[in-house]
């Protein structure tokens, strides 16, 4: 398998990408990570970019993520919002877990909001769900289905009473 070549190939598996915890807020459109390839105080930022950025990209497909290397003396994350505002997060001398937990608190969605979005997406995506409290209260509202017998009478060839008479 060609995708299993390189440093830490586990990062490219769908199972690993699905373990990501960071769902960015809807207002964030661009996330840039600035760090250097050398230096002890950049080690946490390098590890964060290596291990967690693929998960963040997988969980947030509408957000553009930039990695800018060797352009700054101190590592930081800059978030650009849709209304033009910016947010800077300092990553200097922090470990990758500390950076992730701080990002979860500052720019991540809450667990309740994530759960509500998953439930709403599940209801919208599945057209076979119908009944009380759903978009379609009856199967007859699905295109291609037979209308309700209480509203529109079924044709005689679909009614049992007439089928039995034809057989006799």
Average pLDDT, the chain: 89
pLDDT (0 to 100) of residue 64: 97
Q: Between 148 and 64, where is the model more confident?
A: 64
- Which pLDDT band holds residue 2 (cuts at 50, 70, 90)? low
- Alpha-carbon gap, residue 70 to 34, rounded angstroms: 8
pLDDT at residue 23 tops 90: yes
pLDDT at residue 63 tops 80: yes
Domains of the chain and any CATH numbers: 2-114 (3.40.30.10), 127-167 (no CATH)
pLDDT (0 to 100) of residue 44: 96
Average pLDDT over residues 110-122: 89
pLDDT at residue 3 tops 70: no
pLDDT at residue 1 tops 60: no
Burial 134-150 (b: 16+ CB within 10 A, else e): eeeeeeeeeeeeeeeee
pLDDT at residue 165 tops 80: no
The first and second tokens of residue 61, run together, are: 């497909």
């Amino acid at each position: 398998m060609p995708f299993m070549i390189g440093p830490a190939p586990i990062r490219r598996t769908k199972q690993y990408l699905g373990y990501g915890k960071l769902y960015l807020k809807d207002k964030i459109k661009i996330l840039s990570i600035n760090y250097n390839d050398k230096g002890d105080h950049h080690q946490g930022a390098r590890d964060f970019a290596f291990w967690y950025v693929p998960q963040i990209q997988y969980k947030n497909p509408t957000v553009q993520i930039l990695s800018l290397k060797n352009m700054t003396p101190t590592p930081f994350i800059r978030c650009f919002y849709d209304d033009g505002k910016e947010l800077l997060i300092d990553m200097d001398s922090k470990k990758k877990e500390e950076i992730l937990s701080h990002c979860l608190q500052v720019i991540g969605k809450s667990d309740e909001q994530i759960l509500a979005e998953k439930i709403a997406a599940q209801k919208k995506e599945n057209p076979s769900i119908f009944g009380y409290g759903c978009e379609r209260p009856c199967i007859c509202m699905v295109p291609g289905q037979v209308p309700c017998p209480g509203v529109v009478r079924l044709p005689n060839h679909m009614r049992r009473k007439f089928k039995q008479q034809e057989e006799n």
